Amino acid sequence: MLFTHTTKVTAENRNTGYNALQHIALEIDSRDEWLKALTDLRVEIVSGPLIHGPEGGGGPSSFVGGSGSRSFYFLDPDGNRLELCTDIMTVPAGEQFPRAEYADVFKQ
């Protein structure tokens, strides 16, 4: 087990998880092969499959705060949230992120 969190949410602890590990992401070659393998093993997928960023189209299988990578999430036996992802965008040194053409998409 990496971290433990309270099971009762109160006003004092409701944001505690945001100051700790949220998940562990692992880059893989094929999201769909891993998704099938874990599904065949009856591992529960807790989120996804999805596409991070505006490339996801804004529907239920997208996540706006991202870069076009494709991923899904599941829990390990200790309850730690794991993300398997592929097609991760790399930003060359000195290049702006988000790029100017995506500036409006990422405004809050």
pLDDT tens per residue, range 78-108:
888 899 998 877 667 777 666 676 666 666 5
Q: Domain ranges for the chain, please list them.
A: 20-89
pLDDT confidence band for 61 (50 / 70 / 90): low
Q: What is the mean pLDDT of the chain?
A: 76
Kindly state the percentage of the chain with pLDDT values over 90.
20
In 2-97, where does DSSP find H-type helix? 31-40
In CATH, the number for domain 20-89 is 3.10.180.10
